Chain A
């Protein structure tokens, strides 16, 4: 079963420096990237970085990302 993972980008403001959810996810489901498409590797403004679900099939539903997020920006539902 695949989860729906939503990250509220209005609350998650600095994922490039925070990254707590990326570090805690036991199966590395979440990804850090940018809103600006293929320019993701370039030296761009940190404000352009966002987190989103990528490898949904590995999500166990443990909710560690939800509880670790200091901004309560992540929601996971099945």
Chain B
């Protein structure tokens, strides 16, 4: 079972359907954030916790050093700021009960691509924190724009269509304050998770499965996967999904013209139920 659901769902079917996890107190209580790590101001998000020493340890395959550093980074991230992949359907459900919601600039793409603010409004913030950005606009580069629930849904649907994965991010776990719309290689969380094995991004509650009877081999889904889970089987002339690598975002399923890809509950597959 998802450990965040175990701790924070409080009777709701998933932890991110529990409205209490969107309602952070307006005053701040500093948590014991575990090991102290000086963040690198050049790297966005969680990647800021991976320094040159860590990259060197990966390079020389120093498994002991890698494991120690990975543990420290993950403990800090899971306390403060980490994400989980959500399907479009679940994202739209979340938008139904959160308020307020605003669109803002993506800090990852600013750092990775140097995107100017006006081309970079792909990040969504929600909950009381948004009033802070509104009240003190200098606190967030590019500012923010409040959206109605319908506008927010439209925006998310458009970004999903573009090929961006919806993820929910905590800001002081379990307080969820952001719907990020991510892609490889410019999302820091996807990169740290996929490239470095540091789990900033948890897999979602679903897994995509292909019905080979229905798959026509058109390959229109292949470019949708941001997690290196989807490839094309030349021998079968069908799309192929590595179930253990699948993050369950559903982007491939929404693109399939044959409706050959469906999302199944991760919990329904014994070997995947604890693969996060």
- B-contacting residues of A (Cβ < 8 Å)? 1-2, 15-19, 22-23, 27-28, 31-38, 40-44, 50-52, 54-58
Contacts and interface: CB of A to CB of B under 8 A. Distances in A.
Nearest to B141: A43
Given A31-B111, A35-B41, A54 B138 contact: no
Given A16-B114, A28-B112, A58-B195, A43 B42 contact: no
Interface residues of B, number: 31
Contacts of A18: 114
17 contacts: A18-B114, A28-B113, A28-B186, A32-B111, A32-B112, A33-B40, A33-B111, A40-B111, A41-B139, A42-B138, A42-B141, A43-B137, A43-B139, A50-B42, A55-B47, A57-B58, A57-B59
B39 A15 contact: no
Contacts, number: 82
Contact of B39 (A19, A37, A56): A37
Given A1-B59, A42-B139, A43-B140, A33 B114 contact: no
Given A32-B42, A33-B42, A41-B141, A15 B114 contact: yes
B183 to A, nearest CB: 11
A43 B105 CA distance: 12
B111 A57 contact: no
